[in-house]
Amino acid sequence: MPHKVLCRVTVFCLYFVAGTMFAQSPATTSIPRDSVQMPQWQPHPTLKGAASMTLAGDRMKSGMFTIRVKYPDGLHIPPHKHVLELHSTVLQGMLCVGLGETWDSTKVQRIMPGQFMHFAPGVSHFEYTVGETILQISGMGPMQTMFNDTTQKPFVAPISAPKK
């Protein structure tokens, strides 16, 4: 009987020690929600009317990064591709994305808030926004965008006047 008690005490001590070790591990650090300060929106370096913020890393350097971009309503981005893969989630608005070397609005898929996209390296795609659209984008840097036709530039489509 004393042997069983000793075994139970030993098991309890092992659970206690293991639990204490894991609770103090730096890998399980938790940050209280109200202590996190979000970075400020900055003008996007290449897209007029857009803004971005860096959450982690640096998109222009080697290594992992996470950014948010805020696109204005009606932004059209011509066919382009990225050198490295990107993972994007729509947080607000709607992003319409089509795959292909040329603009073809019949190939567009509507990506709504909460939906995720994966862009493999070198896959040509084009985009436009409906409403102010915010994306969260993660990937490995440096982030490089290559337009298929360098004469085409991103633009914001004028909002049409309401019909009478």
Q: What is the average pLDDT value for the chain, to the nearest integer?
A: 83
DSSP state of 105: G
How many C-alpha atoms does 126 have within 13 Å on its Cβ side? 21
- pLDDT band at 73, cuts 50/70/90? very high
Quote the pLDDT of residue 9.
46
Query: Which pLDDT band, with edges at 50, 70 and 90, does 88 fall under?
Result: very high
Write out the H or E segment, with its range, that includes residue 70: strand 63-71
The verdict on domain 38-156 having CATH code 3.20.20.190 is: no
Distance from C-alpha of 100 to C-alpha of 79, rounded to nearest angstrom? 7
Q: Among candidates 164, 134, 138, 145, which has minimal Cα distance to 70?
A: 134
pLDDT band at 7 (very low <50, low <70, confident <90, very high): very low
Q: Which single residue is written with the structure tokens 């709504």?
A: 112
Whole-angstrom distance, CA of residue 119 vs CA of residue 32: 32
**What pLDDT does 30 receive?**
58
Cα–Cα distance for residue pair 21/75, rounded to 1 Å: 51
C-alpha distance from residue 82 to each of 43, 87, 137 (Å): 21, 11, 12
Delimit the domains of the chain by residue range. 38-156
Q: What is the pLDDT of residues 11-55, one digit of tens each?
A: 444 444 444 444 444 555 555 666 567 899 999 888 889 999 999
The model's pTM: 0.74
How many residues in total does the chain contain?
164
Between these two residues, 45 and 149, which has the higher pLDDT value?
A: 149
